[in-house]
Amino acid sequence: MNSTTMLLRTQPHTPFLTPTTTTKLFTTVKPTTTTVSFRRAAVTTTRMSLTQDAPAIAVVGVTGAVGQEFLSVLTDRNFPYKSIKMLASKRSAGKEVTFEGRSYVVEELTADSFDGVDIALFSAGGGISKQFGPVAVEKGAIVVDNSSAFRMVDGVPLVIPEVNPEAMEGIKFGSGKGALIANPNCSTIICLMAVTPLHRHAKVTRMVVSTYQAASGAGAAAMEELEQQTREVLEGKPPTCNIFSQQYAFNLFSHNAPILSNGYNEEEMKLVKETRKIWNNIDVRVTATCIRVPVMRAHAESVNLQFEKPLDEVAAREILKNAPGVVVIDDRPSNRFPTPLEVSNKDDVAVGRIRQDVSQDGNTGLDIFVCGDQIRKGAALNAVQIAEMLL
């Protein structure tokens, strides 16, 4: 990628880098012998998305990892639009972005950027969202924000379309009214995609989550640093630590979010608070431990559940098989279960290791293992699905 032109990169990352002189960041991963059907929208040969009666769109933070994925998802899902603005910081202004066969110049984000914009997809950090989100709303745009800026603000819907679409009832494109809608944290989305169908059946009273989070959650620069560090370590050089304060390659550590006074970090408390808001249940007990692992772009989560009503593993497996946006990979004889690599660049969240919790009596506990693409369903896809519900 040169300094002036950005192209969409949709091939999956390699799981690990090989110690060769030239390393390919994006390769095709060979399929395993057992086939699992994941949902990934095919790109049609004739684009129907550029439509005059469709919304005018703005993508804020377009040069970042999630911003680029916004464009990929808009294309994959044939999202209708009459125009699209590519917005980013002053540093990125002037670069060119290729989208659906057209070249767009990235514009500097200003208060005037939202004139005539109907839907604005934000992924440029909480500070930018707090500064420009209300400006866009004031100008009549519906903002779908991927940062943490508004998630816990009363009156701002926090939405996973498969989980709580009713939270954004009454917000529609064409109403002439601006609005804010918050995208949940990536680990919350991936977790609740799998847990909510079970919660609807037997009501979760307590949830214990351990996350294994990829570099993508810290942005494109972190992904690049993981690649660079891996190469450096394999070559016997000291690793470059600009994004993280310690070696990331061939290592794992507690999530780099700030530690709070209660001993939890901010990432862990997001899972606690966001789950309660999304489920509209302040009484559900949630605890989490979040770990950063040297994986490029998909998160994994171990989830222990306690239910109000009995739910056995057979029934749970059937519920999950029929849940939208979920695929079950639970092959005990082959010891084959979800992996971050397998879900990378996929829409669906994968669930496996579905088993009764032997520490709880009466079939009131389950353990599951969940994997999902952090950039896709954990961020960009969820936001675009919200935008689809506005039409």
pLDDT digits (tens, 9 = 90+) for 52-108: 889 999 999 999 989 999 999 999 999 999 999 999 999 999 999 999 999 999 999
**pLDDT given for residue 168 in this prediction:** 96
Interval 131-155 mean pLDDT: 97
Beta-bridge partner residues of 369: 302, 352
Token pair of 350 as six digits: 């994968």
Q: Strand 83-88's sheet: what is its strand order?
A: 107-108, 83-88, 56-60, 119-122, 142-145, 179-182
338 pLDDT above the threshold of 80: yes
304: which residues sit within 8 A by CB, 6+ positions away? Answer: 207, 208, 209, 357, 365, 366, 367
* Residue 290 to residue 2: CA distance in whole angstroms: 35
* Residue 290 to residue 374: CA distance in whole angstroms: 14
Residue 39: band (very low, low, confident or very high) from pLDDT cuts 50, 70, 90: low
Pick from 150, 218, 157, 225: nearest CA to 186: 218
**pLDDT given for residue 358 in this prediction:** 96
pLDDT digits (tens, 9 = 90+) for 194-250: 999 999 999 999 999 999 999 999 988 999 999 999 999 999 999 999 999 999 999
Alpha-carbon dihedral angle through residues 191, 384, 11, 14, given to the nearest 10 degrees: -20
8 pLDDT above the threshold of 50: no
| Angle between helix 266-279 and helix 186-202 axes, rounded to 10 deg | 40
* Residue 299 to residue 186: CA distance in whole angstroms: 8
Beta strand ranges found along 100-243 (DSSP E)? 102-105, 107-108, 119-122, 142-145, 179-182, 204-213
pLDDT digits (tens, 9 = 90+) for 290-306: 999 999 999 999 999 99
Residue 50: band (very low, low, confident or very high) from pLDDT cuts 50, 70, 90: confident
Place of tokens 């005018």: 56
**pLDDT given for residue 17 in this prediction:** 31
2 pLDDT above the threshold of 50: no
Place of tokens 């949902």: 39
Q: How far is CA 37 from CA 74, 130, 237, 327, 328, in A?
A: 22, 39, 41, 8, 9
- Options 13, 186, 199, 255, the catalytic residue: 186
What is the residue-averaged pLDDT of the chain? 89
15 pLDDT above the threshold of 80: no
* Residue 316 to residue 313: CA distance in whole angstroms: 5
pLDDT digits (tens, 9 = 90+) for 352-389: 999 999 999 899 999 999 999 999 999 999 999 999 99
**pLDDT given for residue 33 in this prediction:** 41
- Options 13, 199, 255, 299, the catalytic residue: 299
Residue 186 appears among annotated catalytic residues: yes
Q: Which of 17-31, 58-72, 116-130, 161-175 has the lowest mean pLDDT?
A: 17-31
Please give the angle made by the CA atoms of 198, 201 and 202, to the nearest 5 degrees. 85
Q: Helix, strand, coil shares of the chain as percentages rounded to 5?
A: 30, 25, 50
Residue 30: band (very low, low, confident or very high) from pLDDT cuts 50, 70, 90: very low
**pLDDT given for residue 3 in this prediction:** 39
* Residue 124 to residue 147: CA distance in whole angstroms: 7
pLDDT digits (tens, 9 = 90+) for 277-288: 999 999 999 999
22 pLDDT above the threshold of 50: no
101 Rama class: left (phi>0) / alpha (psi -120 to 50) / beta: left
DSSP 8-state class, residue 31: P
Residue 299 appears among annotated catalytic residues: yes
Contact of 192 with 223, CB cutoff 8 Å:
no
**pLDDT given for residue 14 in this prediction:** 32
37 pLDDT above the threshold of 80: no
Pick from 228, 244, 223, 377: nearest CA to 297: 223
As a whole number of Å, the end-to-end CA separation of the chain is 35
